[in-house]
């Protein structure tokens, strides 16, 4: 049995008032525990205060949400955990959708890099340092994967990625200076 007595109020006001009073009573008794639990769960992923607020909003939606004979703290902890998982899932779905949304094209389609020829790009690539040039050519011109390039060159996959990234940056610098972009 919970330590909560239903106050006597007019029948039309009763559900809202009772839900608020009940949630307030739970907050008073279990709020600091739930805040600490939310901070541990959320770390830097979500706002723990929002999570605790969501728990109490859920409690307020019904007059007596916690079944009789159930440990309130355990029940509230489970609600908090479930809401936390739901928020993480929603966040992951939003992030995944963002990956597949088309990127808006720039209004100016005749930018200088659209007019580059393959020969101009190859000439710029030839001026890269050897390690960057080889990795970039294998990736961009031969279509090899990072794993294949790493195996061929005898270096870690991360090194291949670093060399390709540096080659792209250097190419951007070379071509921007030459083409005035």
| Residue pLDDT, tens place only, 60-113 | 776 566 778 889 889 888 988 998 888 888 887 777 666 666 665 555 555 666
9 token code pair: 């109020």
Say if residue 142 is in the same domain as residue 68. no
Answer yes or no: do 141 and 87 share one domain: no
Q: Which of 65, 100, 135 is the last residue of a domain?
A: 100
Do 26 and 83 belong together in one domain?
yes
Question: Domain span at residue 77?
Answer: 14-100
Whether 29 and 53 map to the same domain: the answer is: yes
CA distance 34 to 49: 9
Q: Is the pLDDT assigned to residue 122 strictly greater than 70?
A: yes
Q: What is the total residue count of the chain? A: 181
pLDDT band at 166 (very low <50, low <70, confident <90, very high): very high
Q: What pLDDT, on the 0 to 100 scale, is given for residue 134?
A: 93
Q: What is the pTM of this model?
A: 0.44
Residues 83 and 129 in one domain: no
């Amino acid at each position: 049995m919970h330590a909560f007595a239903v106050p006597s109020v007019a029948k039309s006001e009763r559900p809202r008032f009772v839900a608020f009073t009940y949630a307030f009573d739970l907050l008073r008794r279990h709020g600091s525990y739930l805040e600490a639990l939310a901070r541990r769960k959320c770390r830097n992923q979500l706002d723990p205060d929002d999570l605790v607020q969501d728990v109490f909003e859920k409690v307020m939606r019904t007059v007596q949400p916690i079944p009789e004979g159930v440990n309130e703290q355990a029940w509230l902890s489970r609600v908090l955990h479930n809401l936390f998982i739901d928020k993480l899932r929603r966040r992951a779905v939003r992030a995944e959708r963002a990956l597949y949304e088309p990127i808006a094209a720039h209004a100016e389609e005749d930018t200088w890099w659209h007019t580059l020829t393959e020969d101009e790009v190859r000439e710029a690539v030839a001026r890269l340092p050897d390690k960057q040039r080889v990795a970039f050519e294998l990736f961009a011109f031969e279509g090899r994967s990072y794993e294949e390039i790493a195996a061929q060159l005898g270096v870690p996959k991360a090194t291949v990625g670093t060399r390709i990234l540096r080659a792209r940056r250097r190419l951007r610098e070379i071509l921007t200076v030459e083409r005035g972009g």
